[in-house]
Amino acid sequence: MKTVYKKPESMTSATTIYCPGCHHGIAHRLIAEVIDELGIADRAIGIAPVGCAALAYDYFNIDFSETPHGRAPAVATGLKLTQPDRVVFTYQGDGDLASIGAAEILHLANRGFNITTIFINNAIYGMTGGQMAPTTLEGQKTTTTPFGRDLQIHGHPMKVSEILSQTAGVAYIARGAVYDPKHVMETKKMIKKAFQNQIDGKGFSMVEILSTCPTNWGLSPLDAVEWLKKNMEPFYPLGVKKDIDQEQ
Amino acid sequence: MPKGKVVIDKEKCKGCELCIAACPKKVLGLSEDFNTKGYRYSTPLHPEDCIGCGFCAMMCPDVAIEVYREE
Ligand SMILES: Cc1ncc(C[n+]2csc(CCOP(=O)(O)OP(=O)(O)O)c2C)c(N)n1
Ligand code: SF4
Ligand code: SF4
Ligand code: SF4
Ligand SMILES: [Mg+2]
């Protein structure tokens, strides 16, 4: 029998700390598949964030740095400047990237520096117990918005991909999801493009992935998927937000 | 229809059921017993119906599933 699927070489066989059904695991798998397919395992460097993915370095069979508190873009910049032949990517959650590290990601994108970012938007601070994130939706209950996010008090949910797409330096930004096989395949193509762009020297490329946090949303993994489709997807539309290859 | 086969590492499985929902042939279901982590794990209840499409593996956050297909 021919093998249709087995663990990508770029992943270790460690068991992750992620909760059952958490989409972080699917996002990891897609990145590892892309690294295998592009044959860049020996020159890829990942940068793990603060948040549930803080231990990502245990799950990938490639070089990794752990750079908490939204500073992954700064460390990525340093690594790429000093080792331009390496393929450097950051892996960041919405608290890490859009709140704690908002300045870093904005300047990385605006400078168009040749790095790849994978941005996990689960509309919440997962690791710390479900506090409001910049991406938390209007009316969404979290431990710090027990009556739901109130725009007057807490501000508006942040559409990071749309905002960063407005900066001149960006080569590619797309938003995907991984809640069914079709979207998994589409998002993998986005991730592959974001890595290929870096290899081709095209500049900053990011893929935002709408993800579930079943635990802090208080839902089963399958109900969390339905919640994402009903609530997140209409506010955060999927698709390519910017692609310099389509603009010529 | 091609004939497929899935091999699920029950100790890696966290019983999230994402693979079960993704299977177009309703091959998979949860076990009656528990793995050592305390989860009911995904297992092929109707292995004869598997077409080796790989959808279950594509959805598994814990890389617990290997898929094979007859050539
Ligand atoms: C500067 C700073 N503020 C707050 C924290 C506490 N902290 C650790 S993880 C985290 C939230 C991470 O959320 P997110 O990036 O969305 O990741 P997730 O766990 O949801 O994947 C926070 C606030 C911190 N470590 N550093
Ligand atoms: S708390 Fe949320 S984001 Fe963190 S591992 Fe659990 S489900 Fe995933
Ligand atoms: S390979 Fe396809 S048919 Fe077989 S169990 Fe997985 S999803 Fe179902
Ligand atoms: S998707 Fe993976 S972890 Fe979830 S039930 Fe299926 S085999 Fe288990
Ligand atoms: Mg988050």
Report the CATH number that the domain containing residue A218 is assigned in CATH. 3.40.50.970
Q: What was the ipTM of the complex prediction?
A: 0.97
Region A131-146: mean pLDDT is 98
**Most informative mutation of A59, A135, A210, A213 for ligand 2 (most atoms within 8 A of CB):** A213
> Residue ranges of the domains in chain B?
4-69
| A152 within a domain of the structure (yes/no) | yes
**Is there a domain that residue A6 lies in?**
no
Q: Are A62 and A86 in contact (CB under 8 A)?
A: no
Residue A222 CA, distance from chain mean position: 21
CA A69 to ligand 3 center in whole angstroms:
40
Count of structural domains within chain A: 1
Alpha helices in chain A (DSSP H): 24-38, 72-82, 94, 102-111, 151-154, 160-165, 181-199, 214-217, 221-227, 233-235
CB contact (8 A) between residue A21 and residue B16: yes
B26 interfacial to chain A (CB closer than 8 Å): no
Given a cut of 80, whether residue A223 has pLDDT beyond it is yes
* Domain contains A85: yes
**Average pLDDT taken over every residue of chain A:** 97
Per DSSP, the residues of A152-168 read: HHH-PPP-HHHHHHTST
Q: Indicate whether A3 belongs to any domain.
A: no
Q: What is the pLDDT of residues A164-179, one digit of tens each?
A: 999 999 999 999 999 9
Q: Is residue A5 part of a domain?
A: no
Question: What percentage of chain B exceeds 90 in pLDDT?
Answer: 96
CATH code: domain B4-69 is 3.30.70.20
Q: How far is A12 from chain B (nearest CA, A)?
A: 10
What pLDDT does residue A246 have?
93
**Region A202-218: what's the mean pLDDT?**
98
Q: Name the residue in chain A with its Cα closest to that of B66.
A: A6
Is residue A196 scored above 80 in pLDDT?
yes
Token pair for residue A237? 């539309």
Mean pLDDT along residues A193-216: 98
Average pLDDT value for residue range B64-71 = 96
Chain A residues in contact with B68 by the CB 8 A cut-off are 1-4
| pLDDT score of A34 more than 70 | yes
Residue A1 lies in a domain: no
**Residue A69 placed within a domain:** yes
Strands B28-34 vs B40-44: parallel, antiparallel or unpaired = antiparallel
Q: In this structure, is residue A81 part of a structural domain?
A: yes
pLDDT at A39 over 80: yes
Task: Quick: pLDDT tens for B7-65.
Answer: 999 999 999 999 999 999 999 999 999 999 999 999 999 999 999 999 999 999 999 99
Which residues from A are below 8 Å from B when comparing CB atoms? Answer: 1-8, 11, 15-16, 18-26, 29, 180-181, 184-185, 214, 220-222, 225
Give the count of Cβ contacts less than 8 A between chain A and B.
82
pLDDT value for A248:
64
Q: What angle do CA A148, A153, A155 make, to 5 degrees?
A: 90
By residue range, what is the domain housing residue A52?
A: 24-247
A86, amino acid identity = R
In this prediction, residue B71 has a pLDDT band, given cuts at 50, 70 and 90, of: confident
SS3 of A72, please? helix
